[in-house]
Structure 1
Amino acid sequence: MKKRNIYFPILLFFMLALGVLLGGYLNFPIEKRGLSKNDSKNKLYKIIDFIDNEYVDKVNTDSIVNLTVNDIMTKLDPHSVYIPPSEQTGVAESMKGDFVGIGVNFYMYNDTVAVIKPLENGPSEKAGIKAGDRILYANNYKLFGRKLSTDNLFAKLKGEEGSEIELTIFRKSENKKRKIKLRRDVVPIKSVDVALMVNPVTGYIKINRFAETTYDEFKSGLQKLQKQGAKSIILDVRENGGGYMEMAAQIADEFLKDKQLIVFLKNRKGRIDKTFATKKGSFETGKVAVLIDENSASASEILAGAIQDNDRGIIVGRRSFGKGLVQREMNFDDGSAVRLTIARYYTPTGRSIQKPYKKGNEDYFNEFGTRFQNGELYDKDSIKIADTLKFKTPKGKIVYGGGGIVPDVFVPLEGKHGEESVVYVMQQSGVVGHFAFEQLDKDRNAFKGLTFAQFLDKMDKTDLYFTNFQNYLLDNGALVKLSASKSLVKRYLAAEFARQLFDEQKYYEIVLKEDAMIKAVLNKK
């Protein structure tokens, strides 16, 4: 059988660590700096110029510079990094919170750009593009049947705001091609996935990163939930690798009283910069819970630490990543950038939650595997924190520094030991989304006209998609048996189908209903 074009990790835990590697970079002030011009002291540039002008053979000096800068960064800490131009554009757009494009979610399916779903009210949806459409040409540029890099593909679909593009698409349901003209527009990249009520008095807000738009998105969601009667709020920063610390501080300010300390920074020279809450908080009295896991890092930990250290709410989940370093970004003319650690941050009680990194980057970013092996993901007593790093909150609660935020209420991974971690990794890898798309693509009429309630009933009563998914993994070389985690797999499959058929909120309505951390919060109250 021909293997499909999907990406599934052979080393499951390595994939998870890699996700944190990217997210863990992102904890820096919004201020950015340009390159300091001081050629008289720049030995590196003089050497590069010397090679460029005098070396006996032609040398690509740009590649030498990249190697040299990367080597310099490896001598520092895991979060001081060089970002090449090919990566910096995407990271910058993600942190800005928008880009100019056509507004579709897609992936390369059998060497063709397949539309998973057009974004609501985006240019593509307004122009009539539908889920399942294949984009064959962008203007006259062929997009199918060739190995296109991500940069080349995005370059053809992105452009100036208001610029026109003609797409040639193939619609499988009609078995015909059609040309569609549309104008590119600003496409938001949401950092707040959803804000919804999990019961009549409890609101839930999922934050996936801390970008320039995050506070505004959060504030809008909080106001909506308050109007719906929310007296308690659950903040979910699981899998959130961080971002702009100012956004985390502004969100914390909504829950803390005037002049309560949120976070403070200390640099090499001993300078201390403190951030305090103000009078503007709109949720200073209702109950608060923050959900964290082993991939909650940097700005996520600032938010959780501020809530925990001020005795403002409960932290629920598993020990967070442990990143207490602050970066500043320096941009270069070629589009690359360097992020340099310029300070450490401390939670209000004075604790640093930065975990050790003396054993090297590989050990540092692969700690998920260590936590899994030592049982920490299943048993709070297995958490290894030095007793000498104890701190007390104003109400006398003991909290710990030196390696992430330790939750007040521990919630292990779901299911039996080892089984659910496979499902968890598959969810993060994107394979569940690809499978759902391909199943829908085969027969969209099977779900046509169904209400959400009818959809849930259909997915609950059938094992068809569970069986198909098991075979899908086996066909693609993933030797994983899912029978022991059947209910968990079915839940996530139904949720992903709902996301593609309905919207993001329906996805969360399904997964949160049986979410162990949500249950722990609701049972605590």
Structure 2
Amino acid sequence: DKDLEKIIEDYKQALKIVQEKHVDGKWLNYEKLTRFSVNAMLHALDPHSNFFTPQEFRQMLQEQKSEYSGIGASIASFVKDGSVDTYIIGVFPDSPALRAGLRFGDKIVAVDGESVTGKPSLYVRDKIRGERGKIVSLLVEQVSTGKTERIDIRRAFVAVPSISDAYILRQGIGYINLSNGFNYTTREEFEIALQELHQQGMNALILDIRDNPGGILEQAVKIAEKFLPAGATIVSQRGRYPIDNRVWKSSNRNPENIPVVVLVNRYSASASEIVAGALQDHDRALIVGENTFGKGLVQSVFNLPTGAGLTLTTARYYTPSGRLIQRDYKAENLYDYYLHKTDYKPDPSSARKTITGRTVYGGNGITPDEIVTAPSFTERQTYLINHLFFFVRELVNGRIKGLEAYKWQKAPEFKRPFTERNLQNFDKLIDAFKAYLNEKGDKLSEAEYDFVSLRLRHQIAMAMNGLTIADRVLIESDPQVDRAILNLPKAYSLAQAAQKKSVKK
């Protein structure tokens, strides 16, 4: 193709001029320039086609396997005395970080000799991650002693399961948190979770796919199939070539019959929207939460000869009723697109009907049957969380006078439930935090008591029981979860009506 040859030649000439004439031409990073160039080209087509360098491509493939190469620790940035630093907030079970003795509250000072003071935690995370088997050297200010020590840790594959937690939330009500994307292990994880919850007496389910960014389409199909009878359409795909046109139908002759509520939010995207859309169109579950992201494009993965890769949009997918849930991306820039800056009004031409005749719309993700907006943090609450972290950091190291019983310098007890028994003299604990704030020249108002009480319990649970158990503390007081529980009878009635409708057909 002569036009293509001309474009390639123009690119080469432009790169040569940049190398020869640009003020920093001697230090050009060609890999970086190529990545930016190709991504700019792809984003002119749609927001979801991407180019990956060899390192990024390997990392993406690892994530699809529910793993990454690192040390197995969660980190976050906090501000103290005007300095932004990165701290350990949790370590994973049987991880290199746990074996190396890293604990809640340890401060990361440097990574491989580079100071990370003032750097955001995402930057520090990327510095710590790397090739499996290689040593990463951390300079750590240990919270228990205040001493700064060098800790060398050998990176390993760290499992990141799709399902972060599954347990009986209240009597008979199971809760499954499927927030970590749809990966190669998702179906197996989900079946194990369902089986264990049934054994514990589950007769209703809250399926939480909030913040789930998507992943492998076939795995999402398998999750929806658990609740839909044989022959029910789950999703259809239409592309440029016949090979890209497919329809996925359930082959499950014994689907789950318990009532289901699915929790979604604006970060539920792609494959998670396939699950929500299929269950909504079939009236098999009630959808609760916020409008989903609105990504109805399917990417295929292509390997490039140098080890780099592409994810290229090759098809669109449609829910069982025929909805395309993809938002319009041609009328706005990428920033506005990802932050949902454009107001959406339902297009009557995108209206479709569910099994029982309810009207649903395409063009803007999945609209919940019950809209419940998640509370957002105020600047004041963010400020309080920052101080709560440093307060608990002192508390669990026995440095809050009169509350030495809270001292906890050992590894988290990952499987032990966090209960009120963990919170001795809680009123005294609140008073101690008030005094802590007073020393900073601040006061806690009575209106802030409930927020501080919840977040204090959460921080203590992170130190004593790890991140997963700590998240249960927040789930117990989550208004979207509360509404989901209240809507379980409605979900049951809806599913019964859909089943009768299907039998009549």
Q: Same fold (TM over 0.5)?
A: yes
Hey, what does 1:106 align to over in structure 2? Answer: 75
Partner residue of 1:274 out of 241, 247, 258: 247
Hey, what does 1:421 align to over in structure 2? Answer: 376
Paired amino acid for 1:397: R
Matched, 1:394 2:344: no
| TM-fit CA distance, 1:493 | 4.5
8 Å Cα contact 1:319-1:406 kept in structure 2: yes
Partner residue of 1:499 out of 429, 447, 462: 462
| TM-fit CA distance, 1:266 | 0.6
8 Å Cα contact 1:293-1:318 kept in structure 2: yes
Q: The residue matched to 1:192 in structure 2 has which SS?
A: coil
Hey, what does 1:126 align to over in structure 2? Answer: 99
How far, CA to CA, are the matches of 2:161 and 2:440 in structure 1? 30
Cα gap change, 1:466 to 1:487, in 2 (>3 Å): farther
Q: The residue matched to 2:48 in structure 1 has which SS?
A: coil
8 Å Cα contact 2:385-2:455 kept in structure 1: no
| TM-fit CA distance, 1:302 | 0.4
Counterparts in 2 of 1:208-223, with a 5 A limit? 208=179, 209-223=181-195
| TM-fit CA distance, 1:335 | 5.6
Q: The residue matched to 1:258 in structure 2 has which SS?
A: coil
Cα gap change, 1:328 to 1:177, in 2 (>3 Å): same
| TM-fit CA distance, 1:474 | 11
How far, CA to CA, are the matches of 1:519 and 1:40 in structure 2? 59
Partner residue of 1:318 out of 290, 302, 307: 290
Q: The residue matched to 1:327 in structure 2 has which SS?
A: strand
| TM-fit CA distance, 1:463 | 4.3
How many residue pairs were aligned? 458
Q: The residue matched to 1:354 in structure 2 has which SS?
A: coil
| TM-fit CA distance, 1:347 | 0.5
Hey, what does 1:487 align to over in structure 2? Answer: 450
Hey, what does 1:517 align to over in structure 2? Answer: 480
Hey, what does 2:317 align to over in structure 1? Answer: 345
Per-residue CA deviations over 1:85-133 (Å, capped at 9, x if unaligned) read 6755554443332123332223466576643232212123234333333
Flag the structure with more relative contact order, 1 or 2, with Cα contacts below 8 A and sequence separation at least 6.
Answer: 1
How far, CA to CA, are the matches of 1:469 and 1:352 in structure 2? 53
Paired amino acid for 1:70: N
Counterparts in 2 of 1:308-387, with a 5 A limit? 308-332=280-304, 336-361=308-333, 362-367=335-340, 384-387=345-348
Cα gap change, 1:67 to 1:119, in 2 (>3 Å): closer
Which range moved further: 307-316 or 173-182? 173-182
| TM-fit CA distance, 1:264 | 0.5
Matched, 1:452 2:411: no
Hey, what does 2:394 align to over in structure 1? Answer: 442
| TM-fit CA distance, 1:236 | 0.7
| TM-fit CA distance, 1:171 | 3.0
Hey, what does 1:18 align to over in structure 2? Answer: none
Counterparts in 2 of 1:84-233, with a 5 A limit? 88=57, 90-107=59-76, 114-134=87-107, 141-144=112-115, 154=126, 158-161=130-133, 169-176=140-147, 183-208=154-179, 209-233=181-205
Cα gap change, 1:169 to 1:422, in 2 (>3 Å): closer
Q: The residue matched to 2:377 in structure 1 has which SS?
A: helix
8 Å Cα contact 1:135-1:143 kept in structure 2: no
Cα gap change, 1:171 to 1:407, in 2 (>3 Å): closer
Cα gap change, 1:483 to 1:456, in 2 (>3 Å): same
Cα gap change, 1:194 to 1:469, in 2 (>3 Å): farther
Q: The residue matched to 1:421 in structure 2 has which SS?
A: coil
Cα gap change, 1:296 to 1:492, in 2 (>3 Å): farther
Hey, what does 1:28 align to over in structure 2? Answer: none
How far, CA to CA, are the matches of 1:66 and 1:117 in structure 2? 33
Paired amino acid for 1:229: G
How far, CA to CA, are the matches of 2:407 and 2:189 in structure 1? 32
Paired amino acid for 1:422: F
| TM-fit CA distance, 1:215 | 2.7
| TM-fit CA distance, 1:207 | 1.4
How far, CA to CA, are the matches of 1:426 and 1:352 in structure 2? 40
Of all paired residues, the percent bearing the same amino acid is 29
| TM-fit CA distance, 1:359 | 1.8
RMSD, aligned CA: 4.0
Q: The residue matched to 1:422 in structure 2 has which SS?
A: coil
Give me the TM-score of the superposition, normalised by structure 1: 0.74
Hey, what does 1:296 align to over in structure 2? Answer: 268
How far, CA to CA, are the matches of 1:460 and 1:300 in structure 2? 42
| TM-fit CA distance, 1:304 | 0.4
| TM-fit CA distance, 1:393 | 2.1
8 Å Cα contact 2:91-2:466 kept in structure 1: no
How far, CA to CA, are the matches of 1:175 and 1:461 in structure 2? 26
Hey, what does 1:379 align to over in structure 2? Answer: none
How far, CA to CA, are the matches of 1:63 and 1:517 in structure 2? 42
Cα gap change, 1:516 to 1:113, in 2 (>3 Å): closer
How far, CA to CA, are the matches of 2:51 and 2:199 in structure 1? 45
Hey, what does 2:206 align to over in structure 1? Answer: 234
Q: The residue matched to 1:160 in structure 2 has which SS?
A: coil
Cα gap change, 1:155 to 1:40, in 2 (>3 Å): farther
